[in-house]
């Protein structure tokens, strides 16, 4: 019995060590009292969809190009299956567009906040890709913070919250990012996200050069790939 207990403690310590070795670079969104109308609007904004996310693209070719470019920029150590990568990118783009945000800004924010780690937890307790604080689940959700580790739920919460802060700050992205990180008035975090945003910007150019695998995942006929 003592050996089993010792083994459990060692495993827990090892897992804790892994978490501390690569902490999320997140602050903490701060709870602010919301009016009933704002709370209702935010709650409505995070309500789930039954259908798979359908991000907007000008054409199938643009979708193929975009997915290929974005997938190639994901961290090398981020190694879910190929289709899971496509699903992640489609969901980021969909949730960003749904909230009226640039998808590349959201990708930059995720890079800075969690470095694309689904189960990242900051020292302040923020969770998931977009490092959403658990109190939001009670304020505008169903009260279950474990859902913040669900990919789509986390991205929806994060995009909705950033949109909320942008509205509060009348479109001032620098200040909205400061609010998102809980560091309003300090330049380090907004500047880091803005730099990352530039790295994720995408401009389609030249003939289609995506792989058949990407084309198939994006819904394009393989024969159309040049």
pLDDT per residue over 104-120, tens digit each? Answer: 999 999 999 999 999 99
Q: Which two tokens stand for residue 118?
A: 């689904």
Do residues 196 and 105 lie in contact, with contact meaning Cβ atoms separated by under 8 Å?
no
DSSP state of 57: -
In the chain, what are the domains? 26-224 (1.10.530.10)
In Å, what is the CA distance from 130 to each residue of 64, 115, 148, 204?
Answer: 25, 9, 9, 27
Do residues 193 and 109 lie in contact, with contact meaning Cβ atoms separated by under 8 Å?
yes
**pLDDT interval class at 150 (50, 70, 90):** very high
pLDDT per residue over 155-197, tens digit each? Answer: 999 999 999 999 999 999 999 999 999 999 999 999 999 999 9
């Amino acid at each position: 019995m003592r050996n089993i207990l010792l083994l459990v403690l060692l495993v827990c310590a090892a897992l804790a060590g892994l978490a501390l070795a690569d902490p999320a670079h997140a602050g903490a969104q701060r709870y602010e009292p919301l009016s009933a109308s704002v709370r209702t609007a935010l709650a409505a904004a995070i309500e789930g969809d039954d259908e798979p996310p359908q991000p907007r693209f000008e054409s199938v070719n643009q979708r193929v190009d975009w997915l290929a470019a974005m997938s190639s920029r994901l961290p090398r150590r981020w190694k879910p299956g190929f289709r899971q990568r496509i699903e992640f990118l489609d969901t980021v783009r969909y949730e960003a567009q749904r909230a009226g945000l640039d998808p590349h800004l959201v990708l930059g924010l995720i890079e800075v906040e969690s470095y694309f780690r689904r189960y990242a937890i900051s020292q302040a307790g923020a969770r998931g890709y977009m490092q959403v604080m658990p109190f939001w689940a009670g304020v505008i959700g169903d009260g279950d913070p474990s859902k913040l580790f669900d990919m789509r739920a986390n991205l929806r919460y994060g995009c909705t919250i950033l949109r909320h802060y942008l509205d509060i700050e009348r479109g001032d992205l620098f200040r909205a990012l400061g609010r998102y990180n809980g560091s309003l008035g300090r330049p380090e975090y907004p500047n880091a996200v803005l730099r990352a945003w530039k790295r994720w910007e995408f401009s389609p150019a030249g003939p289609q050069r995506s792989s058949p695998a990407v084309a198939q995942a994006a819904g394009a006929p393989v024969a159309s790939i040049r």
